[in-house]
Structure 1
Amino acid sequence: MWAARSDDLPWPRDVPAPGPELVVVINPGSGEHDATATRDALARVFGSAGRAFRFVAIATPADLARAADHAARECAERGTVLVAAGGDGTINSVAQAAWHHGCLFGVLPQGTFNYFGRDHGIAQDLEQAATALLHADEQPVQVGEVNGRLFLVNASLGLYPQLLEDRETFKQQLGRHRWVAMLSGVVTVFKWRRQLALDLELDGQTTRVLSPTLFVGNNRLQLERIGMEPAIAARVGEGRLAALMPHPIGSWKLLWLALRGALGRLGDANGIDGAAFRNLTVQVRRARRVKVATDGEVTMMAPPLQFRVSDRPLRLMLPRPDHRVPVE
């Protein structure tokens, strides 16, 4: 299961390593970063500091969830730290395992947006983040759940999961470029005709609505970036999640809303509802199973969908104040 630690790493074998062992999960298919280069960089940082560490052996991306779960179980038993190095999808999969087994969790962000890492002051530079992890302290952080599945940044159904699936298809055919992602988004919006028929139960009140998508956020930074109403965004992370839902609209208006979100002006747009909540039940009428995206990973779930703040936080290893980077 574990990749062996090299015997030529520069720390004395008879001196106790400072801090708990770091068990690092690197997704071999995650983004544009080379897994071997990532391993080499982390070995230099951890080895020169005299910190015990191991890498989880993963042959293909399909093995990620299983390997992370096995590693998390061992980390919980030994009191060691499970570390995710990768983008949002990798971090979500490893965090899911750490949260399920209750072990300590560290993050080395390598994705495009890295909202979770940035919101907690974790550097985007790999070696800087690894150095900060060596001196990090445990801090419980809020996570969201939908039908028992964890999300750190957001969860959604309807149009948004379809956007993610279509984007991945386009990237496999045309390459991983920003213009490919933009093109796939435009194509998906114009071919999407479905309006979700939803029954929402919030604070004891049930409302019947139609909408192309439902977006639930657990990351204040992302919500602020898209321009969500400040009074709602400010409550996220303090025992509340936030829901965004556009009214039934056509393709051109959907594109207009997406542009406003990119410009950070979604909060003052007409035709979109938002609310902060702790528990939200969503029944999707005439649907036995629906696509749900959690931090960019799409799975099928059976309604009703229960969105809520988890009673059990994630045990995040948070950088000390002098090692945190300002939010950009």
Structure 2
Amino acid sequence: MPDTPSIDPAATLHFIVNSHSGSQDGDGTRASIEAALERTGRRGELHDCTPADLHRITTELAQRARETGSAIIAVGGDGTINTVAQAAHAAGCPLGVIPRGTFNYFARTHGIATEVDHALAQLLAGRPEPVQVAAVNEHLFLVNASLGLYPDLLEDRERWKNRFGRSQWVAIWAAFATLFRAQRRLRLRIGLNGAEREVRTLTLFIGNNRLQLEQVGVVEDHRPDGVRDTGRVTAVMLKPIGTLALLGLMLRGALGTLGEADDIERFEFQRMVVKPPAFMGRRRMKLAFDGEVVRVRPPLDIRVLPTPLFLLKPPPDDREEPA
């Protein structure tokens, strides 16, 4: 493992703001950040980014932060945090998070508050700590990656949010709408531990966020050692089933008992290769990672990365317990 980067308290922190993330007011967030910096005497710059500029700007700022002993701070939802984390991981600089999304799984897993002023106070008192990240080919993911039904759900959810606003209830009703028209079955070849098999599934879901997996009941919660990073990720495959059975699984997920269902298969791994059937060639596959949907050429090399991400975590006595 590389040495943990240090933070120079006099260095300028770089806040990368996506005011379109989540349901909060971007101007209010900016004012809170500026007030916290002035109150504590810390130096910081706020960079407003459009989606088209986000990758370029974060790459430049991550390199600058590494050279000056500083950090880049993602202000937004899981998608924004993912893009900023990609740059931080590549440059080896610390990442900070001010969560402004709908579910904020990554932030909540590490005890980061979802209220802006508290998250800022935690950030300014925090120190870099290594956290586990995974990747599909070149796409790093912090929370999850998936094929099949789940990417369809994310695309539908974004359409619903654009029409009805961003809230958890809108996301839930969008999920119902997706399930009612779910018909497409995936045929995949999975290479794992030196063996390959062909499977049929509605969705292949890879979870790198223990909080999300615990809440739906796929893994047990409250690990005795309190550690959420295990060096492995969790695969969940959903067997081809009808709409009513899908709704039953959704209810199980809401009740935290999804792991007890007969219609899913789950297993943990460090590395897995996924391909379409041979007759499909190298046709692009729709992939979702941390709320973003892309199309990627197979094979898909899914793995836990050996180099961690260095996250500015709150002091232990100020970490929020995930609800």
Alignment of 1:118-197 (within 5 A): 118-197=108-187
Distance 1:175 1:323, change over 3 A: closer
Instruction: Kindly indicate whether residue 236 of structure 2 is the aligned counterpart of residue 244 of structure 1.
Output: yes
Contact 1:23–1:81 at 8 Å: present in 2 too? yes
Cα displacement (A) at 1:230: 2.6
Which residue is equivalent to 1:31?
22
- Helix, strand or coil at the partner of 2:89: helix
The answer to whether the 8 Å contact 2:73/2:97 transfers is: yes
Provide the C-alpha distance between the structure 2 equivalents of 1:92 and 1:217, rounded to a whole number of angstroms.
14
1:279 has 2:274 as partner: no
2:23–2:167 CA contact under 8 A, matched in 1 = no
Tell me how far apart the structure 1 counterparts of residues 208 and 169 of structure 2 sit (CA, whole Å): 27
> Counterpart in 2 of 1:304?
299
AA in 2 matched with 1:25: I
> In the alignment, is the contact (CA less than 8 A) between 2:287 and 2:296 conserved in 1?
yes
**Alpha-carbon deviation of 1:25?**
0.6
- Distance 1:187-1:314 versus aligned 2 partners, 3 A rule: same
* Alignment TM-score, normalising by the size of structure 1: 0.89
Q: How far apart are 1:140 and its partner, in Å?
A: 0.8
Q: Distance in 2 between matches of 1:183 and 1:28?
A: 24
Measure the CA separation in 2 of the matches of 1:125 and 1:183: 25
Residue segments in structure 2 that go unaligned for 5+ positions in a row: 1-7
Measure, in 2, the Cα distance between the counterparts of 1:136 and 1:19: 15
In 2, Cα distance between equivalents of 1:20 and 1:214? 43
Q: Which residue number in structure 1 is paired with residue 3 of structure 2?
A: none
Indicate the larger mover: 17-26 or 153-162.
17-26
Is 1:254 equivalent to 2:246 in the alignment?
yes
Q: TM-score normalised to the size of structure 2?
A: 0.91
Q: Name the structure 2 match of 1:22.
A: 13
Tell me: CA distance 1:104–1:302, structure 2 relative to 1, closer, same or farther (3 Å).
same
Query: Which residue number in structure 1 is paired with residue 53 of structure 2?
Result: 63
Contact residue 102 and residue 167 of structure 2 kept, 8 A: no
Displacement of 1:170 after TM fit?
Answer: 2.2
Conserved? CA contact 1:189–1:254, under 8 Å: yes
Higher relative contact order (Cα pairs below 8 Å, separated by 6+ residues) = 2
State the Cα distance separating 1:192 from its structure 2 match. 2.3
Q: Is the 8 A contact 1:18 1:50 kept in 2?
A: no
Q: Residue type matched to 1:72 in 2?
A: A
Change (3 A) 1:320 1:123: same
CA shift in 2, pair 1:214/1:76, >3 Å: same
Given the alignment of the two structures, is residue 268 of structure 1 paired with residue 260 of structure 2, yes or no? yes
CA positional deviation for 1:115: 1.2
Deviation, structure 1 residue 103: 1.0
Write the distance in 1 (CA, Å) between the matches of 2:315 and 2:78. Answer: 22
Shift of 1:179: 4.2
Question: What one-letter code is carried by the residue in structure 1 that aligns with 2:67?
Answer: E
Q: Tell me the SS of whatever aligns to 1:230.
A: coil
Question: CA separation in 2, counterparts of 1:101 and 1:209?
Answer: 38
Contact 2:82 2:142 in 1 (8 A): yes
Q: What secondary structure does 1:270 align onto?
A: coil
How many correspondences in the alignment?
Answer: 310
Tell me the distance in 1 between the aligned counterparts of 2:166 and 2:213. 25
State whether residues 153 and 174 of structure 2, in contact with CA within 8 Å, keep that contact through their aligned partners in structure 1.
yes
Residue type at the aligned position of 2:239? H
SS in 1 for 2:171: helix
Residue 225 (1) aligns with residue 220 (2): no
CA distance in 1, matches of 2:123, 2:163: 37
Q: Deviations over 1:270-318 (max 9, x none)?
A: 1110001000111122261011111101111111111100111101111
1:183/1:122 CA distance change after superposition, 3 Å: closer
Whichever residue aligns with residue 206 of structure 2, its letter is: V
Q: Distance in 2 between matches of 1:177 and 1:108?
A: 18
CA–CA distance in structure 1, aligned partners of residues 173 and 313 of structure 2: 37
> Tell me, which stretches of 5 or more residues in structure 1 are unaligned?
1-16
Task: Give the residue type in structure 2 aligned to 1:199.
Answer: R
Q: Is the 8 A contact 2:186 2:200 kept in 1?
A: yes
2:202 matches 1:207: no
Q: Which amino acid aligns with 2:255?
A: L
Q: Is the 8 A contact 1:160 1:293 kept in 2?
A: yes
Provide the C-alpha distance between the structure 1 equivalents of 2:144 and 2:228, rounded to a whole number of angstroms.
11
Q: How far apart in 2 are the matches of 1:134 and 1:103?
A: 16
Q: CA RMSD in A?
A: 1.9
In the other structure, the counterpart of 2:31 is 40
